[in-house]
Structure 1
Amino acid sequence: MNKGKRRERLKKILLLLNIIGIILFLFLLVNNNKNTVNLHEENKVSERQRLISEELDQVQSKVHQLEDTGKSTFSFGFVTDSHYEIGIGGLQQYFSLQNVSENIPMRFIVQGGDLINGYKNKNQSLKDLNKMKQLLSDTHLPVYLVKGNHDDNSYYVRDTKNSTTADMITEKEWKENVDELAENKLVRDEDNPLGAYYYKDINDVKVRIIVLNSNDVPVITTNSGKPKYYGINKYAFSNQQLNWVANKALNFSSKKNPSEWQTLFISHVPLYASMSLPNDPPIVNSSVMDAIIQAFKNGNSIDIPERSDEFRHDFMHLNYEKQGKMNVIGYFAGHTHAEKSQVINGINYITFLHALARTDGGPQRNTLMTTGAWSVVTINTEKRTIYITGFGAATDRKYTY
């Protein structure tokens, strides 16, 4: 072999060795970076867990201090608008609620509606509902559910071709899937037990919590098989619910001292459009519900004229004069994805930040945690004060009534 060929062969060998060296270097570099990234991610998780733990301790301490003020005080958890569906996370707020449910003196948890997103086929949405039921049951506390505009799966039906009314979650299916979460007996409308409205008396502090169904919309199927009204963007109080609230839920005649009782109202959609989302339609018959609440609060009598369309309601003559003036703690709602408050006709109307705590909730507390948002509500019936202790992006708030 001549010198030229040897030299050429040596060049090829050196080139091959260089290529192997470069490949080995790149392999080591990538592997080292991967380990660094993993370590960085582990540090981020560790830091987040530390922050969550510290925040939970702070919430626990604040609530304990508020509870220590006397026997006239009670607390409960409030979480709303989780919009859960498979493939979407944001469940950390429920895990954190589980962690504190045994350490904070909460009587129960209120889930303020939109438990699921309702944008999957019915079978999947029912599975999503069952997933949330399991998470809530693990808090080991009674859970009082408020039905939201996403919870009937009409979101899917409205936006999906060839879907029909049959793809919506019925009142019966809703109740069957979530009813046992309440644990303690709720007082429902005996004539409409599937109505998703009810009340619960907290006897030792003389507070009645009335949960309203702001999506009590008639299910009317059109010739196309689609519903005439979609619960996702149509809200209403039915005639049956209005009558039950006026004559049953607001009747304290069975109590020894009715004037000592206080009342808290909760619905998913705020009663007043001014408290709701921009361009959101008002709740049909909200003015009637408002008139009932005001007459109850002021101990007045009132005549409410009938309505005769598909959202009909009866003529009502209500007389609360004998019962006298009653104290209304406030009216709580979700739906808006934001913390709002307004005093209207002497009543505190308060909304809560949604559980996912995305930026569509408007101004909220800056936090490094990806924990969502929930609150502990503490009510002192003697001082007539509402304390809201926020977790995650939720803020601390205080109101008097």
Structure 2
Amino acid sequence: MSDQPFNQHNHGGHTPYPDDHTFILAQSLMIRTAPEWTALATPPQTLPAGTLVHYVDHVTTGHYRYVKTTEGTYLPTADLTTNTVFGADSDPTVSQVPNQTPVVGHRYAMNGLFRVTRKTLAEHSAPDFNAPVSRTFKRGATLPYVAKYRTAHHGWLEISHAEGGNGYVPFIRYVAGIAEYWGREKTGSKGVTRLIEPWTYTHPETITTTEDPRQSLVPTTDEKTGFDQLAAKIAQVAASDTVVIGLINDTHLDSYNTAQSANTLHDLKALSYFAKNYGLDALVANGDLNDGVQTLDRTILDIDRAVTALKTSDTPFFITQGNHDDNSGFARYENGYRVDQVLSNVAASNLRNRHASASQIRPQTSEPAFYGKYRVPHSPVSLILLDTFDIPDSSSEGYFKRDYVEAPTGLHWTGILQNIRHSRSRIQQAQADWFSQTMADLEPNEQVIIFTHDSIRSAVTDNAVGRFWTYDWFANNQQGAYVQVYQTIIRHHAQIISVMNGHTHVDDWADDDGINWITTTCDAPDRRKSAHGAHATPSDSAWDVLVINPTQRHLTRLRYGWQDATGSVSRLRVSLFGDGTDNRVPNLHENLNKLRPATVTRNTILYNQTSKQTRQKWRGFRAHFDY
């Protein structure tokens, strides 16, 4: 601990997170009547991924660990022979060290349909050509699969049998690194010759760290020096009523991809260590906690690791919703728009909001809410967390529903993207009304700092491609009650410290409409827009400490790690987003509307130009703000 204490949890902090004896399934699991692998319930009962189960005890039998549920049944939680865990366990004594499983031999649980184009394909009893053949499929056969494997030179589909057991059908061969497919995926509204296979984003050979998220950080000498220096800077500007908030943006945690993506877990632990040992009042992870390009089981485990690391802070912490957090990007880009791999809102809430400090601030709604308000104890300062990806779960027959009601004016829109969180920003009316009422109910001396992942400001200005905010197609794709939220902010600007966001992966700021609009760069160094980020080392973190002096009405932003200077980058954008899957025949009303185009904003006009040299600009890091 620093010998220059600046706050020492005067207002908050020191919030322990005891084991709540819960287990969240990372994959579908069958209920057992006893702690034995073969002791299946009759009839068989399967719980889906994301389910939260309360348990009373752990039991280890043979090669497996189980939990005994409060109902007296059992669920397997880990395979001890392979060090594979089947879900997120709240017990701090259970090892959760990331298992960077090699590409070869890993089972990727995912559902789909595969249509055979080869003359015949044989089904084997194991993903091995030497295994016995049980049946043969002819060209044109459609195979429903429940998982994929990769062996050294082949990819395999796991086929589930109605009478029990599984079979394995080869569907791809690798020769000198070139893939030869023996069929077509049948997905959504179109058939594709192939999808990006789930093992594409698995590169364990590049990952050298195996952080245990349950173990508090043991700082290196350099880290300890850096922490003490940061504490000294805070002490220089802190007063008796100071509130100090830790902030980290866009960690894009992915334990299976690159060293940079895996090492953001270390940064979460570092921020947590600083919060606990130097006295922060609260922590905010402002969206894109995980990267969202892995299968559902890995996504659930990564979110659990991140939340577990934040729990070591013993400090109230809150997580806003980003466009990567539910891994709908995986469904969009890799999985043919199927929803079985997308983290549901219920599962996301179970993972991110089950700890007391988050669950207590959420409004009571019929569906999980990812927004709320936290009043820092004994202080006039409150934190408001908003969800700029406020999109309900919506699917039909295993695929995303099409919804044309909210298509942005003037945009070429394929419809299928509307129900994929990764592709749009949205604020539902219920959240906007909650925010308006919350701001109206503020005490006269109360001051609020607002956190969102995507920018609120870009919804109502033509300057989203100008001096503030990088060129971002989300700015032209904001739906719902954005304008109401923005107007509420302006109406109460005298009580707003700042509006903090991330998403654009640069440091930026503006002071329009009497509001401090501040964005924080991406913590993952290989995801930043600047040239520096492309060549950064895994330890090159970037997180903030926000020092709020409510009497002086001053905000100081201090950075641990790297920060952006003013910069820009030019790129040739050659086509619109979208994938051309809208194969409907336009009706008469739609055809007439094409003859009477609605008035569009400058941003929409710029965006609809299919080829354009765009210049992304940012103003860099700024430390001091009056409000």
TM range (shorter): 0.7 to 0.9
CA contact (8 A) 1:64 1:105 kept: no
Output the amino acid matched with 1:232.
H
Alpha-carbon distance in 1 for matches of 2:277, 2:300:
31
1:219-230, aligned counterparts within 5 Å? 219-221=393-395, 225-227=399-401, 228=416, 229=418, 230=420
Report the count of equivalent residues.
320
Tell me by how many angstroms 1:169 deviates: 1.0
Distance 1:335 1:290 in 2: 18
* Displacement of 1:372: 1.1
Cα distance, 1:245 vs structure 2 = 0.9
1:400 aligns with 2:626: yes
For residues 363 and 379 of structure 1, what CA distance do their matches in structure 2 show? 32
- How far apart in 1 are the matches of 2:381 and 2:392? 31
1: distance between equivalents of 2:520 and 2:426?
21
- Report the CA distance between 1:330 and its aligned residue: 0.9
Secondary structure, in 3 states, of the residue corresponding to 1:358? Answer: helix
Superposed counterparts of 1:1-400, under 5 Å: 49-67=220-238, 69-71=239-241, 73-87=242-256, 88=258, 89-91=262-264, 92-162=266-336, 164-181=338-355, 183=357, 186-192=360-366, 194-221=368-395, 225-227=399-401, 228=416, 229=418, 230-247=420-437, 249-252=438-441, 258-273=443-458, 274=464, 275-282=468-475, 283-284=478-479, 285-297=481-493, 326-358=494-526, 360-362=528-530, 370-394=539-563, 397-400=623-626
CA distance change for structure 1 residues 262 and 104 in 2, over 3 Å: closer, same or farther? same
Specify the code of the residue in structure 2 equivalent to 1:70: S
- How far the C-alpha of 1:108 sits from its partner, in A, is 1.4
Per-residue deviation at 1:340?
A: 0.6
Identity between Structure 1 and Structure 2 (%): 18
Q: Give the Cα separation in 2 of the matches to 1:102 and 1:236.
A: 35
Match in the other structure for 1:45: none
Measured against aligned partners, the alpha-carbon deviations of 1:206-252 in whole angstroms (never above 9, x if no partner) come to 122110000012443356713532211200100111111112x2132
**Partner of 1:200: helix, strand, or coil?**
strand
Moved more, 202-211 or 167-176: 202-211
Shift of 1:137: 1.1
Q: Kindly tell me: are residues 93 and 361 of structure 1, through their superposed partners in 2, closer, same or farther at Cα, counting changes over 3 Å?
A: farther
What TM-score does the superposition give when structure 2 sets the normalisation length? 0.48
What is the Cα deviation at residue 203 of structure 1?
4.0
Q: Deviation of residue 90 (structure 1)? A: 2.2
Stretches (4+) displaced over 4 A: 363-369
Structure 2 contact 272–311 (Cα < 8 Å) conserved? no
Which has the larger share of helix? 1
The RMSD of aligned alpha carbons is 2.6
If the length of structure 1 is used for normalisation, what is the TM-score?
A: 0.73
Say whether the 8 Å CA contact 1:143–1:181 is kept in structure 2: no
**Aligned equivalents of 2:356, 2:285: Cα separation in 1:** 11
Unaligned runs of 5+ in 2: 1-218, 402-415, 459-463, 564-620
2:625 maps to a residue whose letter is Y
Retained in 2: the 8 A contact 1:154–1:232? yes
**Per the alignment, do residues 184 and 212 of structure 1 end up closer, same or farther by CA in structure 2, a change over 3 Å counting?**
closer
**Cα offset, 1:145, TM superposition:** 0.7
Contact (CA 8 Å) 1:276, 1:335: kept in 2 or not? no
Q: Does the 8 Å contact 1:369/1:392 carry over to 2?
A: no
Pair 1:355–1:112, CA change in 2 (3 A): same
Q: Deviations over 1:96-155 (max 9, x none)?
A: 223322332201110001011111111111111111111111222221111111011100
Cα 1:221–1:346 change in 2 (3 A) is same
- Contact kept in structure 2, 1:133 and 1:181, CA below 8 Å: no
Contact 1:270/1:333 (8 A) holds in 2 = yes
Q: Displacement, 1:367?
A: 8.9
Cα distance, 1:239–1:369 mapped onto 2, change above 3 Å = closer
Contact 2:291 2:325 in 1 (8 A): yes
Structure having the larger proportion of residues in strand: 2
1:346 Cα offset (Å) = 0.2
Q: 1 CA distance for matches of 2:558 and 2:513? A: 25
SS in 2 for 1:293: helix
User: CA–CA distance in 2 between the matches of 1:340 and 1:364?
Assistant: 16
The residue type equivalent to 2:426 in the other structure is A
Any conservation in 2 of the 1:82–1:90 contact (CA below 8 Å)? no
CA contact (8 A) 1:333 1:351 kept: yes
Give, as a single letter, the amino acid of the residue that structure 2 aligns with 1:212: L
Query: In the alignment, is the contact (CA less than 8 A) between 1:147 and 1:268 conserved in 2?
Result: yes
Secondary structure of the structure 2 residue equivalent to 1:85: coil
Q: Do the aligned partners of residues 206 and 193 (structure 1) sit closer, same or farther apart at CA in structure 2, a change above 3 Å counting? A: farther
1:20-68 C-alpha deviation (Å, 9 max, x unpaired):
xxxxxxxxxxxxxxxxxxxxxxxxxxxx94433321110111123332x
Instruction: Point out the more displaced range, 180-189 or 261-270.
Output: 180-189
